[in-house]
Structure 1
Amino acid sequence: MKASSMRRLAMIGIVFTGSSFAAFAQDMQAGSVTGLPVPRYVSLKTDRVNLREGPSKEHRTRWVYQRAGLPVEVTAEFETWRRVRDADGTEGWVLHSLLSGRRTALVAPWSRNKDEVFPMRSAAAEDANVVARLQSGVVTSVAACVNAWCRVSVGNITGFIRQERLWGVYPNEKVD
């Protein structure tokens, strides 16, 4: 990967460890508009975001997101539009001004058991005290991820959760 691409990745807090970088770099390209990595995770800026069939306001609205902070994955860029995919796999186009670079993640949105809870711990260790129990689908703010753990917050509660339990960060991605 070029040094300029590495600098762009560092600017938005994406760093990889081990072989994960090589695997991710194969799939990642610089966005044709921003030069930022594609794919990449971002979040919804407001609580009303139209997901459109194509990259213009003339295209039909497929869905209206009503959850500010929801993480989505940018998969393509075209002028002022970004093609995004949500945790359910739904894809469409969103106006770039409705997206934020703030990193958020969903707790285990794939969980079939809605009663299942996931521990948020006081430290990045399985034996650390549990500070909260998070249900599937909870949106967390991601402060950092390293060594398979992410420091996240929900409201005024901050703690650590296993990276594999989050949708909104890539496996082995280091977030600063």
Structure 2
Amino acid sequence: MNHTQEEANRKAKPVAPKVKELIERTQSIILATTDAEGNPNSSYAPFVQLDNTFYILVSFMAKHTKNLADGRKASIMFIEDESATKQIYARERLTIETTPSQIERDSETWNTIVAKLKETHGKVVDVIADMQDFILIALQPVRGSYVNGFGSAYFVDEKLDILEHRNDVNHQSK
């Protein structure tokens, strides 16, 4: 392959379905939140997606729930399973900055999402949805990045569409 072909391949955008396929293969998201003092917390939560919003049912027994309930921005990540990756340094991943908001208990949205969570994750959702320390959080995408290999990183918009190649930082050798 000549230099021109390599450059064209590097700049070629992956098709949007790749992003959607990664989300569809994932049952839980990795969460990154901060508390009022700016202390970081990482965790995870099972999710469902409706339209362009991600929903999680989370307990106040977890630090991330207060951080999200307080409306602090959060980052979520979908990442290829380690056992399925060909190269551990280049795992396929989607990282999204989000704006969280709490869904009112027993609202139409609450009922719709809890039913979808039960359909996706099983009857345990009935049990935890009845517990008063569990709240439903909507995570609205703002922007993000999608990586599917070395030199293959892209900016993603709030609709999870690929915008452009992330060529703001180039890998360099000694």
Query: Do the structures match in fold with TM over 0.5?
Result: no
Q: TM-score scaled to structure 2, two decimals? A: 0.22
- Normalised by the length of structure 1, the TM-score is 0.22
Which structure has the bigger radius of gyration? 2
Higher RCO (CA-CA < 8 Å; seq separation 6+): 2
